[in-house]
Amino acid sequence: DAGVIQSPRHEVTEMGQEVTLRCKPISGHDYLFWYRQTMMRGLELLIYFNNNVPIDDSGMPEDRFSAKMPNASFSTLKIQPSEPRDSAVYFCASSLGGFETQYFGPGTRLLVL
C-alpha cells in the first residue's frame, strides 16, 4: 500500500521566493496534518484538516504560511515570501479518526538561502 506521499523531497530556494509543498495522504484517511521539524524547536504542528476542512491553524507561524486541501487526496502548504528562518523539514501526516495513529510522509527538506 502506498503511504503518505510528499513532493518535492528537497527544495532549495532564495529568500523572497514562493514555495509550495505537496502532500497526498493515505486513501481513506480523514485527517491530514502538516508539521515542521527544526533542531531548535523540534516537531511542531502547523495545521490540521478533518474531511478537507481546516480545523486548527494556530501553529502556522505567520501570514506568509497558508495551507489548502481542495480534495481528500491532495493538500498544499505554501510559503510566500520565504525567509531563511523557514528552513526546516516539513512533514505531512494522515490518519483515520483522529490524532493518535498518524502516518507520516518522508518529509520535504527546505533550504531558503
Partner 1 sequence: GDSVTQMEGPVTLSEEAFLTINCTYTATGYPSLFWYVQYPGEGLQLLLKATKADDKGSNKGFEATYRKETTSFHLEKGSVQVSDSAVYFCALRNNQGGKLIFGQGTELSVKP
Closest CA to 82 of 16, 20, 26: 16
Query: Is-contact 8 109, C-beta < 8 A?
Result: no
* Chain residues 17-36 in contact with partner 1, contact rule CB under 8 A: none
Contacting range for partner 1; rule: CB under 8 A; set: 10-18, 38-46, 68-76, 77-85: 38-46
Nearer to partner 1, 81 or 106 (CB): 106
Query: Is-contact 67 77, C-beta < 8 A?
Result: yes
CB of 97 to partner 1, least distance (A): 12
State how far the Cα of 74 lies from the Cα of 107, in Å rounded to an integer. Answer: 15
Q: What does the binding site for partner 1 look like in residue numbers (CB under 8 A)?
A: 3-4, 42-43, 45, 48, 56, 91, 93, 98-107
